[in-house]
Chain A
Amino acid sequence: MTPLLVRSMLMVFFASVVGSFGAVFLKLGAMRLTKSVLSFVNSRLILGVVLYLGSSVIYALGLRGGPLSVLYPMVSLGYIWTLLWSKLFFNEALTRYKFAGLGLILVGVFLVGLGSGG
């Protein structure tokens, strides 16, 4: 593994964690929405959007430095973190359908990465 690839993998890994927290804060902000459009301006939503945008910039930089067949599955780590947080912070039920569905999605994303060259 070249240093560039290691750096890219670390960036994509970091982006997946940041993005999953972005999703958590979007959910927290969404739960505070009222009928008023102004309720969109709340600190949780803003933090969620900032984390989400931040993660997409880090992804974009990281994905340039290595083969997508390696990096795309790492992008998918974000789905796993988010599943973990949704149980931990929102006490959502993790059914076998959710695990099976997510497993298939991860395989699918891996295959798309394989097909996207390199």
Chain B
Amino acid sequence: MSALETAPIEEFVAELVARALRQGADAAQARAVSNRYFEIDFNNRGVELLRSTENETTTLTLFCAGKRGAANLNGRAANEIEAALLAARAAADAGLADAANDVAEAVSEPASAHGPQAPDREAMAAGVDAFNATLAADHPLVRSRDCVYSFSDAETAFANSKGVRQKERRGGYNFAGMITARDRGRTSSINYSSAGSRAPFASLFDAGSMRRLVRDAPRLLEPAPVPEKFIGDVIIAPDCLATVVGALASALSGGQLFTGATPYKNRKGERIASPLFSLSNRPRDAGFALGADFDAWGVPTQNLDIVRDGVLDAFLIDLFFARKLGVAQTAGAHNFSVKPGEKSLDDIIASTKRGILFSRYSGGAPNSNLDFSGIAKNSFYVEDGRVLHALDETMVSGNFQELLQNIHAVSREYVNFGNSSYPFVAASGVTISSK
């Protein structure tokens, strides 16, 4: 076994960079992630699978004469390392010269560590048992499937030829579960939620929106269509808001700005949403189970406001596109957070004339213009301030640009998913139709 196979991860990535330079690269960077993972996979009938894996993946990027190429490998077999060095070099030689191609200059920070290093298996097993026992006792119509209670401990190291060195370790738990209700031959739509935590969950019902979803599932067995096609309000649930934020983040990315295929180009400082809407990116916020202290280029991350009181404050641009665009980099998109409001969810529902409580979006990916259309899954019809019934085969259509402008309420309740935090958000102007 060679010394490199057993070297600490930070020495491994530094040695890869050194070898790349010795082989003639002008610049190089290497990023390795060593991950130990354990999961319990279960459903309401019991445990199906326990899974333990260990893997280390490394991305090696070389720069030659302004051209860039990369190779990914896993493990540290000597022949694979050599093959990856050759593959990255061949890719770089075949690349297209671009002034934006180079490694980053950045401050090297002290190594950091977050969360536990090993799973508390007994606590995880107890959590699974308690979840299934409560589900059976208190929610007899609800079934679960593909429930995965997992633990991951990942060590990440970065090195580049400008001397940047970074290292962090993150350990934590995650629970993701699907649920449905079934009664006398009727089945409700699947619903799901997931969340991360640095400690074992006190109850798996506390993960994400799971408790609310389990509570609501039996009501979904008796869905009905909306009375007629109408343009109304949507009260977007926290799990569903992730779809809106994801579409917005993509539209604000460096890649989209570079192409021009985004409605938000040149709109920094402009109002792009209701003053009630504020979105921040918080990779270093200890209030989240996940995060990152540095990005794929080894640049330290920073917490920053993206949309402040409806005004576009920052884009999400990595090093390459920052250079292409001639703007500042905003390293690392993790832990999006939408600022909670002051109204309760009950008050928002009570003030809704006609609309839906929009729990899950199942639809086509929004296009560059942020038009969307899809099914409102696991959702409820709201009229004159009351939730009347679950929705059957109901489609929603609109545009996320307009929807953000049309937000008229944000709830004080919110859900921390471990990698994001979202409240309920109410907006108007969405086309709602059933068959």
Answer whether A and B are interacting partners.
Answer: no
